[in-house]
Each structure stands twice: as C-alpha cells, then as structure tokens.
Structure 1
C-alpha cells in the first residue's frame, strides 16, 4: 500500500466532509465528493468556492491556484464514482447501519488495495473493519472541525489494520499540514475521550441546578483559559451527537461519568440539538447561527446578587490574612481597586515581605505600561502590614488565604469572629474545603462566604462566589459587588467539593492520567491532542506538572470522598508519582523532567 493517494473520495458532504475536501484539493489532490443529496453536493461546491475566494483576498493563494483547486473537486450522487480512488474517507452519520452499508458498497467498487477510512469519533473502527472484505485496509481518520483550521488528525488502527495503510494516511496528514496522532480503537479516541466526559459532567452540573449555564461556561473560560464554555460547546457539536458519543463511551467503559446526563436525552428528544436547531442549552438568532439571543433563562442584570433588590453592605476596607503568593496577589487586587487593605500575617516580618512582593509586582506592571507610577504609589500606600489578625478590628471584609488545612482555617475564623466588628463579611479562598465548616467556627455563619480566586490573582478575572446554606443574601451581594469593583467576574455556586472549575477540571486531568496508565497514549500525544484538537492552552500533563501532582491528588481525593463515584477515584499512577516525590515543576520531575528552580 505504497500508493501516493493522489485521488481521494469523500463520502458525505456535510460540514465535516466539505472541510476535508477543501484541505485535500488545496494540497493538490483530486477529490471525488459523493453524497446522495444533490443539495449537499451543491452546498459543498458553494462553500469551497467561498472559502477559496476568501483565501485569494487574504493573499494565501493566487486566483490561478484557486481555479485549479476548484477544478480538482467533482461531486457525484453515485458511490461508483469512487472506483478509481486510492483512499476513501467516509463522514456519513454516526450509525453502524449507515456506515456498514457504505463500507459494503465500497468493497464492491474500489480496488482491493484502496484504503477505506472512517471519520467516526464514537463507533468501533474494529467492528466496521470486521464487516469489510479487506479489514486490513480499514482504519479511522478523525479530523476536527473546522477542518481547515484545526491541526489535529487522529489516525486510528484496529487490531486488523495493516501498518502500510497507517503509514500512508499518516504521511498524507502531514502533507496536509496536520499533526497526526496514532491511537488505538476505543470510543472517543484521545481528544473526544477526554473532552466528552468533561462536557457530560458540565451538563449534569447544569441539570442539578448547581450553577447557571452562563456561570458554568464563564467559569471554564476565565478559570481555565478555554476558548468556549462546555455548554456552548455542546450546542456547537450538537447535543444529539454528544449523546451518541457518550453512549458509545459508556458501553465500552461502564464508567458512570460517561453515562449521558439525562438532560442531553431530553434536549435531543425535544429537537433542541444546539446551534443547528437554533436552540439547545442556549437560544440562537437562527438555526445554524452562532449569535445567542436572550431567552427565559437569561439572567437579568444584577440577578446574581440575590432575590429581589438586595444590595450589599458598604465596604471601604479589606483585611487579607496570609503572606503567601495568593494572599499577596489578592491584597494587590484590592489595593489597586482603591480599598484600604490590612495585610496580616504570622508576624510583622512576614507581612512586610508580602508587601515587598506586592511592590515588586506593581513595579513590573509599571515597567510594562499597565499601570502608572502614580497608581502604583497609591496602591502601595493603601496597604498596611500587620503582625496579627487583631489588626482586622475595623475592616468591613476579611479574606483569608492561609494554608489549605481545615483546622488552620477554623482556628483563624474563630479568631476573626472574636476580632472583627459586627456586620463584617468573612470570606475564605479555599478551593477544596467546605465553606460551611469555616462558617460554623464562628458565631455568625450567615456572614461567611467563599471567594475562590485563581492564581495569579492580579491577572485572573474569575472569582467563584460560594454561598452556604447559611449565607445571607446581603453577605452574598456584598462579595459580588466587591468583586465587580475590583475588576473581577464573579460566578455563583453552592458549597460543594470543587465548586465549578475544579469539579470539572480535575476529573478530566485524572482521566488523562488513566489513559497513560493503560498505555493507550503517551503524555506527549495526549497534550498535543488537547491543544490542537480541543483548543486548550495547555495539555493535561503540562497543566498537572504546573499545578503540582500532590495538589492535584489532594483535590481528586476530596472529589472522590464527596461524590463517592468510583470514576472519580485518583488514578493509581498519580498516587505512585506523588509517593515517589515526583510532584511536577517544583521538584524537577512529574510527568516530565524539568529544570529545578
């Protein structure tokens, strides 16, 4: 099978098939487009004409190159047009019945040496191959949408696939300017195998009314740097498509995290399949459009502040407890927003060191033109270092950022209860401990709220505002208003393990570790798949090494204890690396080797 793959047939001319055809003709291949729907064929031609015209305008191709590319694309309604193809890529609907029928037809049409590729991301390549006369030539070729822009291609082998077929399509993918990743046959492969579990958890979180769709999506965009929130992404992919993929994953894994959230079935059953229908989790201006329009679930301005017209208490001064990186960052945020800040640590020397850290950070902002020298001096002048929490006696809000240890936090909250004036709001920055446990250490649990900042606090806009069953609307509104004045974006959530971001992020990271543990893929391939196929700023193993494997393990254990779901149990490989002292960048070794700092 050392064919150069100069003539390629694409069966199915929907959005994905049209995108594949475009990258092939622009790479000089003769492309035979096949679709039983003449309308689909016409739309494919029109789309190719439009996209290549834009490429000419942008100077990416010449007019002659455009005409030549269009001449290499021919469409037919009869599968027999694929007779001379050296490679056939099918991208018909995700149905065994439909795909198996296509493969049976192709078996009788194409040369025995032609390669047959399925574009599935959910169905078994092995099953499709087994039904073919020549299973050794069947493999998976999973592109990502939009095909011209996304660089990842997963090349999927079954136990029946001949290595020369894999080598031929891998070489083709590289010639197309793509990054091929070799994977075995299991539902979802690498990228979707990780992505759809995360999307399913987000759907379940929304279904449980734990947080609004807007807050879930905003939290993941701002907290993780993702290009799109999970519910908006489900609408883009198609709610019905996502449910099909998850059903296939669950059948293979029997992991409850892959069992489709009931809301996916309810939406799909009602025809609310996302953008293509004009409505899914969100409502769109038109079917197939991307513009979201308000609907009955869209929050009104200020809706997050609590029922009715509840407003927060006046906050002029803020106390920050702690002297580490997070405490310093939070103090800097409040000082730049014009608040009087009392920065208290265990001893005046630690508080002075934290203030010096803030001064250095503000100095860097001035050097980069993000802050004026006058504003820097004003912010620094507003920070008063102190050696004990007694200095918080007159502040209106206290934010603690001490060690992530419940006993330590409870002792501090008991002290704050004694020191702080009546009406002061007390906030914890915990990312994994129950906020209510901190609240119960005081005689005023109604005034205790969670304020989960993200690191680095001066740069990250997200704050998860966590209210317990005891928190008053007034205390909750106070924290939201302070966040907004400080230039942060507050999202509301209840007091349960992981809140929004960590509850969705860390199971995804844990599942990535399981893929490596099961020898399904390497950390490099998985990182590449999520960066190139999912648009993630960092791959899961890059992120694990940055966060710290010990920190990740601790959060995984909290989630597992809270939800008692076997699928949330920490991957043994993660536990073993932590036990060996391989904690990531901070120790010089995690999933990769790093230079010691």
Structure 2
C-alpha cells in the first residue's frame, strides 16, 4: 500500500506530535479538530517546534518550509476523504472515540486504514462499532511523539493481516520502530509503566519521601531520565488515572487500584503540565 496522505483527528498534544512527525517525514497531513481555537493553537505550537529544530540544526530551512506546506488544518471531516491512513487521537474515553471513528469511516475511501492512538482501550471493542472492522488497528504513539521512537501496533480480533502490515509500513515510513503487541489492557508499555507511576503517588501520600526525593531516587538510582511524578505530570494525571481504571476493570486485579491521591489531584483539576500544575507547579 502506498501511503502519501494521512489524517489525524484530534489536535491535542498527541495529534499535533503525530502530525509533526509525519510532515517532517514527507507525508501530507490533514489535521482535524472540532475546535478552531484548538486547531490554531496546535498549528502555532507545531510551527514553533519546527523552528526550534531549524535553530538546533536538526532541520534545514527549505525542509522546514516544505513540511509546513504539507499540513492542512480543518474542522471538516470531509477533508479526510483522500487519506490513506487516518488515526484518531482524541481523549481517552471509549464513547468519544467510537463517535469519531464512525465519523471517519463514513468519510474515508474503502482502501483507507483507520487507526486509534488509544493507550489502553480494547481495539477489538472499538472495531466492533465499525462496519469494516477488518481495516481498523491500534497504533499507539508515545509522548513526545517526535522524540520517542516506539510505536505499539495492536491488532484487534477483526484486524486483517493487510491492515497490520500497512500500519507497520507507515510507522517505519515516518521513522518509528514498531512492535506488534496483543490486544491486552494497557498493551505492553503502559501495563508496566503506569502502575509504577501510580505507586509513586502511594509513596508520596504515605510520606515516605517528598515528590522531589522520589523523582531523584528513580533518576539517580534507577537511571530513569525523568522521575515518575514528573513523568505523570507530562503524560497528564487524568490520562494516568484513566489507564489505571481500565487496567483494574479489565484485568480485575486489586493491584491496579488507583492511588486516592492521584484521583484527588485529578478531581482538583491539577492534571499536570497541560494545566500548569500537577504534582509540581509549572510556569509557561
């Protein structure tokens, strides 16, 4: 399958990162969001990141200009009609994703691959909402998308081998290193990572150490580039909580119980970097 144009639905952190990675790799990208304000903010942020790449010598001026020209932003799903792959990158709620995926399916060409960037929701259950579940697959990127090379490709029970092959092809085409994982709650990375972050909240709540000391312990003692609490802030505390709730519900094991402190911070609106405050305070 020749992949030249992709669609990304959802202009938040993940959608913007996927769009940036694809245009730098030479693909045309249609970025769709229902909010014009979100689109404008996302495109401005994306362009600023490209400019920083030029300043750091990671991208030359002409290549940057060409990449910008390959991006189209729209609030109209009909703009996805010519896409070869469309990936949904909306909020981590199944009902929202199903509504978006159905909208995508009603618009795209019969050959197009439809994907979701979900970090924990069952690919098989999402596929069941579509008329052509065989062309649906999970393609899970990691934040920040332009930096981290891993992509989890997750076939649902209904996904065809051709769909999975096309997903792997696209991931490699944009410079990523894909792994194929089973449709199990949390897949591979989040099933290991998010419970570890959740445990950091238990340790913080118990007063075993301060947030700074917990993060320093894992950076200096375990060789992590970023501490677990700072990483939770980067991911989004609401996303971490959502994944923990999915793990507990779908696996039925009490070890996946979300920390009450994590739940409390989310209830307070302290969601991490995107809100300016999570475990830590952020300025700018």
TM over 0.5: yes
C-alpha deviation, 1:106, in angstroms: 1.4
SS at match of 1:180: strand
**Displacement after TM superposition at 1:155 (Å):** 0.6
Instruction: Output the CA distance in 2 between the equivalents of 1:65 and 1:280.
Output: 37
Q: Distance in 2 between matches of 1:115 and 1:268?
A: 34
1:42 corresponds to 2:40: yes
C-alpha distance in structure 2 between counterparts of 1:237 and 1:47, whole Å: 18
Q: Kindly indicate whether the alpha-carbon contact (under 8 Å) linking 1:151 and 1:177 is maintained by their aligned counterparts in 2.
A: yes
User: 1:156 Cα shift?
Assistant: 0.7
Where do residues 156-175 of structure 1 align in structure 2 (5 Å cutoff)? 156-175=154-173
The correspondence of residues 13-52 of structure 1 with structure 2, limited to 5 A, is 13-52=11-50
Deviation at 1:56, TM superposition (A): 2.6
Q: Report how far residue 49 of structure 1 moved.
A: 2.1
Q: Deviations over 1:516-559 (max 9, x none)?
A: xxxxxxxxxxxxxxxxxxxxxxxxxxxxxxxxxxxxxxxxxxxx
Q: 1:408-463 CA distances to partner (integer Å, 9 max, x unpaired)?
A: xxxxxxxxxxxxxxxxxxxxxxxxxxxxxxxxxxxxxxxxxxxxxxxxxxxxxxxx
Contact persistence 2:105–2:114 (CA under 8 A): no
1:221 correspondence with 2:219: yes
If the length of structure 2 is used for normalisation, what is the TM-score?
0.96
Is the 2:143–2:235 Cα contact (8 Å) retained in structure 1?
A: no
**Secondary structure in 2 matching 1:75:** strand
Distance 1:259 1:114 in 2: 39
CA contact (8 A) 2:248 2:254 kept: yes
In the alignment, is residue 281 of structure 1 matched against residue 274 of structure 2?
Answer: no
- Give the gaps of 5 or more residues in structure 1: 290-597
Residue in structure 2 matching 1:69, options 67, 70, 73: 67
Counterpart residue number, 2:86:
88
CA RMSD of aligned residues (A): 1.3
1:37 deviates by: 0.9
Work out which of the two has the higher radius of gyration on C-alpha atoms and give 1 or 2: 1
* CA contact 2:219–2:227 (8 Å) conserved in 1: yes
- Measured after TM superposition, the shift of residue 62 of structure 1 is 2.9
Partner of 1:264: 262
Larger RCO (alpha carbons 8 Å, 6+ apart): 2
8 Å CA contact 1:112–1:134 kept in 2: the answer is no
Alpha-carbon spacing, 1:137–1:207, altered in 2? closer, same or farther (3 Å): same
Taking the aligned partners of 1:264 and 1:132, their CA distance within structure 2 comes to 34
- The answer as to whether partners of 1:201 and 1:257 remain within 8 angstroms in 2 is no
Alignment of 1:167-316 (within 5 A): 167-284=165-282, 286=283, 289=284
Q: 2:53 & 2:277 partners in 1: Cα distance?
A: 32
Q: Is the partner of 1:244 in helix, strand or coil?
A: helix
**Other structure's SS at 1:8 match:** strand
CA distance, structure 2, for counterparts of residue 52 and residue 281 of structure 1 = 29
Asked if 1:155 is matched to 2:153, the reply is yes
Q: Distance in 2 between matches of 1:67 and 1:282?
A: 36
1:100-499 equivalences under 5 Å are 100-284=98-282, 286=283, 289=284
Cα distance between partner residues in 2 of 1:206 and 1:122: 25
SS for the counterpart of 1:41 is helix
TM-score by length of 1: 0.46
Report the counterpart of residue 6 of structure 2 in structure 1: 8
1:99 aligns to 2:131 (yes or no): no
CA distance in 2, matches of 1:257, 1:126: 25
Q: Structure 1's 222 and 59: CA in aligned 2 closer, same or farther, altered over 3 A?
A: closer
d(CA) in 2 for partners of 1:228, 1:49 = 26
Q: Could you list the per-position Cα deviations for residues 32-54 of structure 1 after superposition, in whole angstroms to 9, with x for gaps in the alignment? A: 11011111211222223222222
Label 1:52 to 1:272 Cα distance change in 2 as closer, same or farther (>3 A).
closer
Distance 1:279 1:15 in 2: 16
**4+ runs deviating over 4 angstroms:** none
Structure 2 unaligned blocks of 5 or more: none
Is the alpha carbon distance of 1:150 and 1:106 closer, same or farther for their aligned partners in structure 2, counting shifts above 3 Å? same
Q: How does 1:443-592 map to 2 (within 5 A)?
A: none
The answer to whether the 8 A contact 2:29-2:70 is kept is: yes
Q: How many angstroms apart in 1 are the aligned matches of 2:278 and 2:42? A: 26
With over 3 angstroms needed to count, the CA separation of the structure-2 counterparts of 1:71 and 1:199, relative to structure 1, is same
Shift of 1:185: 1.0
Paired residue for 1:452? none
